[in-house]
């Protein structure tokens, strides 16, 4: 029976072993694997994020507004012309983004010239669709301008959007790879490994079952840290990994470390970057509990609110902070950057002191 505050253990899948019987946890490690995986996840037609949609709509409407100002002199005429233009541009832009998002994987497999041709051709078709919708209203402007003009404009703007998306995918690739490499370098720290092994050695004679449990949790941490686990995992998986980490730390610190779990199962299906919570709870222990002679507490809370999974990691602060309590913020920057790469403008990240505690709060969409 697990004790209060200790997570129930899940059955572990059998790990692949080499001919010598050792677990092969290093087969997929390395920058090359991270780079290839990131390249597969990024597509020049990836228009599925809210931030991309907002920027695309604003860009197209800004071009329409500037173009109208060249042919209309007075403000009233400009407003009317912009309304006509927006009536064509908005449905056309949204249609192009929806199709690009839905077909991003097959389109990414095309050659580069074909990608440009598809992007421009799709822009022309979407512009024709927008012009047809406005034409149903039988406005005077639609009778004065031939359909070829909006189609050419749609092709040009679609080419510009595709070029921006290509630049975005190329710039994100090294950023994703570097974030992954930083993540691998900063995960299971040497001092934590040393302390955990010493703890297991001390428990071998007096409590073998507990020593085995410590080593199993440590093995799971290494497995997740060293094996590529995909571009995203569920929040529930991240919580399970954080529970394993804190279970080890609770054995080390004993009554000096109190862990409080307030978990909402409905928030567990949210997708997050791998190894998101572990560095946060590690920071909480290292900077909030370890420097304090009387110890401290760590609280992890998840909840679902208005279609977003809210995750907060809060820890007590030492009564007399010293030099050892100050960090460099590497883990926080790493987490924030990987969240931004994955969720763009739909993610919220905040970290800072709150009375006598330190709190990190994250909000990610639940798709």
**Where are the chain's structural domains?**
38-178, 188-365
Q: Which of 365, 260, 354 is nearest to 6 (CA)?
A: 260
DSSP state of 98: H
Q: Which residues pair with 350 in a beta bridge?
A: 361
The domain defined by 188-365 carries CATH number 3.30.565.10:
yes
Rounded CA-CA distance 308/270 in Å is 8
Question: How close are the terminal C-alpha atoms of the chain, in Å?
Answer: 35
Confidence of residue 116 (pLDDT cuts 50, 70, 90): very high
Q: Which residues pair with 260 in a beta bridge?
A: 299
For all residues of the chain together, what is the average pLDDT?
77
Classify 232 as helix, strand or coil: coil
pLDDT in tens, 259-308: 999 999 999 999 988 888 888 998 899 888 988 888 899 999 999 998 89
DSSP H or E stretch at residue 150: helix 148-186
Rounded CA-CA distance 122/209 in Å is 63
Rounded CA-CA distance 11/85 in Å is 60
Residue 21 confidence (pLDDT): 34
Range scoring the smallest mean pLDDT among 22-31, 75-84, 263-272, 309-318: 22-31
Higher pLDDT, 40 or 297: 297
pLDDT in tens, 194-250: 777 877 888 888 888 888 888 888 887 777 666 555 567 899 999 988 898 898 888
Classify 258 as helix, strand or coil: strand
């Amino acid at each position: 029976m697990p004790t209060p505050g200790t997570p129930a253990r899940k059955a572990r899948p059998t790990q692949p072993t080499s001919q010598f019987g050792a677990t092969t946890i290093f087969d997929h490690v390395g920058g090359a694997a991270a780079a290839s995986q990131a390249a597969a996840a990024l597509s020049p037609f990836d228009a599925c994020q809210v931030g991309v949609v907002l920027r695309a709509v604003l860009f197209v409407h800004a071009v329409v507004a500037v173009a109208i100002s060249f042919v209309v002199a007075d403000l009233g005429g400009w407003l009317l012309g912009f309304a006509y233009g927006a009536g064509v541009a908005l449905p056309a832009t949204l249609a192009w983004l929806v199709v690009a998002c839905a077909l991003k994987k097959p389109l990414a497999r095309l050659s580069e010239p074909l990608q440009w041709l598809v992007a421009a051709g799709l822009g022309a078709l979407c512009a024709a669709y927008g012009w047809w919708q406005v034409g149903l209203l039988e406005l005077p402007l639609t009778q004065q301008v031939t359909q070829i003009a909006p189609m050419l404009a749609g092709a040009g703007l679609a080419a510009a959007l595709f070029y921006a998306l290509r630049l975005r995918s190329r710039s994100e690739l090294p950023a994703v790879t570097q974030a992954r490499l930083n993540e691998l370098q900063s995960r299971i720290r040497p001092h934590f490994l040393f302390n955990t092994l010493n703890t297991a050695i001390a428990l071998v004679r007096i409590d073998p079952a507990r020593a085995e449990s410590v080593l199993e949790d440590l093995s799971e941490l290494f497995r997740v840290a060293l094996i590529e686990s995909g571009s995203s995992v569920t929040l529930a998986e991240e919580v399970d990994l954080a529970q394993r980490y804190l279970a080890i730390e609770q054995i080390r610190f004993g009554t000096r470390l109190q862990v409080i779990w307030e978990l909402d199962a409905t928030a567990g299906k949210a997708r997050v970057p791998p190894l998101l919570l572990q560095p946060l709870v590690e920071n909480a222990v290292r900077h909030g509990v370890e420097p304090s002679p009387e110890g401290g507490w760590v609280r992890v809370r998840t909840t679902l609110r208005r279609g977003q999974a809210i995750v907060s990691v809060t820890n007590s602060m030492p009564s007399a902070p010293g030099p050892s309590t100050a960090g460099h913020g590497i883990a926080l920057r790493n987490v924030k950057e990987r969240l931004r790469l994955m969720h763009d403008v739909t993610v919220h990240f905040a970290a800072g002191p709150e009375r006598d505690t330190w709190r990190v709060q994250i909000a990610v969409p639940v798709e």
